[in-house]
């Protein structure tokens, strides 16, 4: 990938183009990977339930996962942390805020009682890891290998609980039905290979360009990760949720957002930390608090009205809080 670094020398605009191309490659790569893997799984008789909870769920987190793995490999640990925290903040404050403004978001009991609390716990665990010096031999504040292992254990619990709930309540699992066309094994394998190539190339383009852009602008990688990179990896969820709200089908937004938040912390961040410890950066305590606060606001919003919906006022509140937070972060870089 030395050619990327050479081309970045021509100016910031090259990096901006590479970032856009990287996001396109990431999104299409994830789509190809999910389509190919789902087709092969169905050919081997694996149920839609299992495919939906594994292949599809993991596939939607592939953009964040690949960006984090490339960041860790390149030593850009701040980018790895802010990609996850920034994505979760944007998922909750921006995506749910905009979606609720378009059409109030209905909530299912499962989301109120499990998914949202798990998302709150995810943010609080990261806050503890980065704010407290843990007495387990870790070198400093941040998410180390032990912290990553703890998060992975919680992820295993989340998967177990999700599978058990889906099997016990099949009537609530229609959204897990996998709609995939019949593909030959060769074509399915081709999609998987193409998807992997797209993910790897996209991840390289984004990480190298983001680091170059941060250097040229004189800002930290953390700020670029919280804004440009996090927004880009959250674009698929944003498009899906807003389009669903426009069709008055916004109830899927909560499941999409909080499922993504949980995967981001308990799987993507956890895996990244076990590969290479992620030390804390300036301002991470505020970012971790925001990641938890968004989920708390949504949980209170659906618990305090008899319709159990995220109403338009709550959507406006989420966007206002995010606007204040972003302004503060940008003024204190």
pLDDT by position in tens, the chain (length 333): 555 555 555 565 666 777 788 888 887 888 888 888 878 877 777 666 566 656 766 777 788 888 888 888 888 888 888 889 999 999 999 999 999 998 898 888 888 888 899 999 998 998 888 877 555 545 567 888 888 999 999 999 998 888 887 777 665 554 545 555 567 778 888 888 888 888 888 877 787 777 777 777 777 778 887 887 888 777 777 777 777 777 776 667 787 788 889 999 999 999 999 999 888 888 889 999 999 999 999 999 998 888 888 999 999 999 999 999 999 988 886
Structure tokens at 303: 């618990």
Mind listing the domains of the chain with CATH numbers? 2-331 (1.20.1420.30)
Residue 83 to residue 77: CA distance in whole angstroms: 10
Question: How many Å separate Cα 204 from the centre of its chain?
Answer: 18
d(CA 302, CA 112): 7
CA distance 256 to 310: 15
Residue-level pLDDT at 137: 47
Residue 10: φ, ψ to 5°: -80, -15
Query: How many CA within 13 A on the CB side of residue 245?
Result: 26
Q: Please, what sign has the CA dihedral across residues 321, 322, 327, 330?
A: positive
- Write down how long the chain is: 333
Query: Which pLDDT does position 170 carry in this prediction?
Result: 61
Judge contact between 55 and 92, C-beta under 8 A: no
Contacts of 186 by beta carbon, 8 Å cutoff, 6+ apart: none
Largest CA distance in the chain: 59
């Amino acid at each position: 990938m030395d050619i990327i670094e050479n081309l970045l020398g021509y100016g910031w605009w090259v990096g901006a183009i590479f970032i856009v191309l990287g996001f396109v490659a990431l999104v299409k790569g994830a789509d190809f990977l999910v389509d190919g893997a789902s087709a092969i799984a169905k050919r081997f008789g694996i149920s839609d339930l299992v495919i939906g909870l594994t292949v599809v769920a993991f596939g939607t987190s592939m953009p964040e996962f690949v960006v984090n793995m490339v960041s860790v490999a390149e030593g850009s640990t701040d980018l790895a942390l802010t990609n996850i925290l920034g994505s979760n903040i944007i998922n909750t404050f921006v995506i749910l805020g905009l979606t609720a403004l378009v059409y109030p978001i209905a909530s299912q009991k499962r989301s109120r009682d499990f998914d949202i609390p798990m998302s709150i716990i995810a943010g609080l665990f990261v806050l503890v890891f980065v704010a407290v010096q843990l007495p387990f031999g870790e070198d400093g504040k941040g998410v180390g290998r032990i912290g990553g292992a703890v998060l992975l254990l919680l992820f295993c619990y989340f998967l177990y609980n999700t599978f058990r709930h889906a099997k016990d309540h099949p009537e609530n699992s229609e959204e897990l039905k996998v709609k995939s066309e019949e593909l030959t094994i060769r074509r399915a394998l081709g999609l998987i290979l193409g998807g992997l190539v797209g993910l790897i190339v996209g991840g390289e383009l984004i990480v190298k360009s983001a680091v170059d852009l941060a250097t040229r602008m004189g800002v930290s990688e953390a700020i670029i990760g919280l804004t440009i990179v996090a927004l880009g990896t959250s674009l698929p969820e944003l498009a899906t949720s807003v389009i669903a709200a426009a069709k008055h089908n916004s109830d899927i937004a909560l499941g999409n957002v909080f499922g993504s938040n949980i995967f981001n912390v308990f799987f993507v961040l956890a895996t990244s930390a076990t590969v290479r410890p992620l030390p804390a950066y300036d301002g991470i305590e505020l970012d971790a608090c925001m990641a938890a606060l968004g989920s708390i606001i949504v949980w209170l919003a659906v618990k305090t009205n008899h319709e159990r919906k995220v109403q338009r006022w709550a959507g406006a509140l989420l966007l206002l809080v995010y606007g204040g937070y972003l302004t503060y972060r940008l003024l204190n870089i």
